[in-house]
Amino acid sequence: MAPDPFDRHLFACAIAAALADGPGQTLTRGLGLSALSLAALIGRHFPRSSSLLAGLSADEGDGCLAPEEPDLRSLLLEHRSRGLVEEEWLAHVIARRALGANHLWQDLGLTSRADLSALMRRHFTGLVKLNGGDMKWKKFFYRQLCRREGVAICKSPNCEVCADVGLCFGAEDGSALVASPTMSDLAQGRFIANQ
């Protein structure tokens, strides 16, 4: 099956964001992917960008940088919609980029929260249903993980009377952190020009 253009866009944005992480970071570490998985992703979606793989060693890109990272990967994969390998890659990428300090859509290199919601609708439909109130995605993920552990993080039993409602459900406005690759960039494997 040919790669989906929206999926290609998602990965291009994430790669552009990881490349912008700065010196000392490797692409595998920035994306939470093993060298083997990254090679498979690049080969499938960006065959003209094999130069991204130059010098890649078998580092521990898919190791865990935080205790909750494997739990978030698992949460995502338990709710995958299509059984695609892209969903395995996205689960790793989302769990790694969720450790960033910005809105998740920004740290994924996307242009808006709408792109992240579209990603979730396409690949993790079960979580979209669980997030019927449209909570901020990062908040929602960690609230789900805390619930599983029996940890109470909410200040109120009811969102409608909770003082934190703005933190959980407020707008996730902001500017994109990296320039979004165009379709022409993608066709030519030129998203690295956004560094």
Ranges within 9-38 binding ligand SF4 (CB under 6 A)? none
Distance, in Å, from the CA atom of 69 to the CA atom of 74, rounded to the nearest integer, reads 9
Least separation in angstroms between CB 148 and ligand SF4: 15
Stretch that binds ligand SF4, among 3-11, 46-54, 71-79, 151-159 (CB under 6 A): 151-159
Judged by CB under 6 A, the residue of 168, 176, 179, 192 near ligand SF4 is: 168
Least separation in angstroms between CB 123 and ligand SF4: 24
Task: Give the nearer residue to ligand SF4 in terms of CB position, either 42 or 75.
Answer: 75
Least separation in angstroms between CB 162 and ligand SF4: 3
Stretch that binds ligand SF4, among 28-36, 39-47, 103-111, 153-161 (CB under 6 A): 153-161
Write the DSSP symbol of residue 53: G
Structure tokens at 120: 């979730």
Under the criterion CB under 6 A, does residue 165 sit at the interface with ligand SF4?
Answer: yes
Quick check: 184 and 118 in contact, CB under 8 A?
Answer: no
Task: Give the nearer residue to ligand SF4 in terms of CB position, either 164 or 172.
Answer: 164
Quick check: 125 and 81 in contact, CB under 8 A?
Answer: yes
Least separation in angstroms between CB 167 and ligand SF4: 7
Of 130, 177, 170, 174, nearest in space to 19 by CA: 177
Structure tokens at 36: 């083997």
Quick check: 114 and 70 in contact, CB under 8 A?
Answer: no
Judged by CB under 6 A, the residue of 4, 21, 164, 185 near ligand SF4 is: 164
Quick check: 18 and 106 in contact, CB under 8 A?
Answer: no
Quick check: 47 and 189 in contact, CB under 8 A?
Answer: yes
Q: Which residues bind ligand SF4 (CB under 6 A)?
A: 143, 154-156, 159, 162, 164-165, 168
